[in-house]
Amino acid sequence: MAVEGVIDIMAAAPGCMGTLYDGAMRGVHRDAIARYGGLVINKQHKGNEPQFYESLRRGRCTHELWAASGRIAEKVPLVDATAELVPVPIKRLERRGVRTFRWYHVLAIPCRHGVHEHRVGVGTTSRKGERPPGESDEECGFHRAEHLQQIPEFTRTHQLVYPYRSDAESGHAQLDASLWNGRLISYGVEAQQLLTLGFVLAQNSTSRALHEEGAPTLRPTA
């Protein structure tokens, strides 16, 4: 229902870029919204373990790439015979398509022989028939939308945008608090939609008025 709601809103509201959600939205949900052209910014499910992605061979070097924490990381050996997954820098996020969309990270893989630019798909999982036989994510058993986020969690962009979700949670709490006993005071879908619409209009009007007035000046008290 949430996915259908997001897509309905995007269709009716030109300029809507996607949704902020919590960890309940998994790969199958992100895939549907990403294919429609939308962004899903949420926290990665804690049960996702790092998965091997590919060994990238460029000239004289090989880079072992893994999917970890919603993005591509390189497995780097350490002097103590252990290894660490180091996130690969992302140069940009690309969206391609017209009716059905696919998303990509353009990576800048550090290397002593020079930085390698490499493009990987994120957010959407290719199905059988969308790639040459045997090469789709579905056939390879790799749920790309589950393991690779459009906006990975541990990035500055995610840290700047995701906190806006708290505003939505605050709005929901205010709606509940405005109703007697926290219950809807109307019967039927149409009446409840009208009630919710009225609440949203009131919130937006209040926010606009406060914004136009500017932030109040705090004065010290005696």
Average pLDDT over residues 167-193: 86
User: Of 109, 139, 115, 112, which is closest to residue 126 (Cα–Cα)?
Assistant: 139
Q: Within a domain: residue 219? A: no
Mean pLDDT of 193-222: 78
Predicted pLDDT at 215: 58
Range of the domain at 43: 2-162
Q: Tell me the percentage of the chain whose pLDDT exceeds 70.
A: 96
Please give the radius of gyration of the chain, using alpha carbons only, rounded to the nearest integer: 22
User: For the chain, how many helices (H) and strands (E)?
Assistant: 7, 9
Mean pLDDT value across residues 14-25: 91
Domain co-membership, 63 together with 146: yes
Assess whether 106 and 149 both reside in one domain: yes
- The residues pairing with 52 across neighbouring beta strands, listed in sequence order, are 66
- Same domain, yes or no, for 168 and 114? no
Which of 119, 134, 162 is the endpoint of a domain? Answer: 162
> What's the average model confidence in pLDDT over 167-176?
82
Looking at the domain assignment, is residue 95 inside a domain?
A: yes
Q: Which of 115-119, 168-172, 194-198, 218-222 has the lowest mean pLDDT?
A: 218-222
Q: Which residue has the higher pLDDT, 93 or 99?
A: 93
Q: Tell whether 97 and 29 lie within a shared domain.
A: yes
Task: Specify the number of domains making up the chain.
Answer: 2
Q: Do the domain assignments include residue 11?
A: yes
Residue 221 has pLDDT above 50, yes or no: no
**Is residue 7 a part of any domain in this protein?**
yes
Does residue 218 lie in a domain region?
A: no
pLDDT reported for residue 167:
77
Verify that 155 and 169 share a domain, yes or no.
Answer: no
Asked whether residue 67 falls in the same domain as residue 80, the answer is: yes
Query: Are residues 97 and 48 part of one domain?
Result: yes
- Tell me if 154 is assigned to some domain: yes
Q: Which residue has the tokens 């996702």?
A: 48
Instruction: Work out the average pLDDT over 60-77.
Output: 95
Q: Hey, what amino acid is at 55?
A: S
Long-range pairs of 205-209 with CB within 8 A, sequence gap ≥ 24: none
On whether residue 204 sits in a domain, the answer given is: yes
Ranges of H-type helices in 78-218: 137-140, 144-147, 156-161, 165-178, 189-213
For range 18-43, the mean pLDDT: 94
Please tell me the distance from the alpha carbon of residue 186 to that of residue 195, in angstroms, as a whole number: 8
pLDDT at 216 over 60: no
pLDDT band at 190 (very low <50, low <70, confident <90, very high): very high
Whether 197 and 155 map to the same domain: the answer is no
pLDDT at 96: 96
pTM over the 0.85 mark: no
Predicted local distance difference test score (pLDDT) of residue 19: 94
* 8-state DSSP, 148: B
**pLDDT score at 218:** 46
Range with lowest mean pLDDT among 22-31, 94-103, 138-147, 178-187: 178-187
Give yes or no: residues 167 and 136 share one domain: no
Query: Is the domain of 168 the same as that of 156?
Result: no
Confidence of residue 59 (pLDDT cuts 50, 70, 90): confident
Q: Are residues 181 and 158 in the same domain?
A: no
- 221 inside domain: no
pLDDT at res. 222: 43
Residue 95 pLDDT > 80: yes
Which has the higher per-residue pLDDT, 221 or 9?
Answer: 9
pLDDT at residue 75 above 90?
yes
Q: Are residues 87 and 192 in the same domain?
A: no
B/e letters for 32-70, b = 16+ CB within 10 Å, e = fewer, are: bbbbbbbbbbbbbeeebeeeebeebeeeeeebbbbbbbb
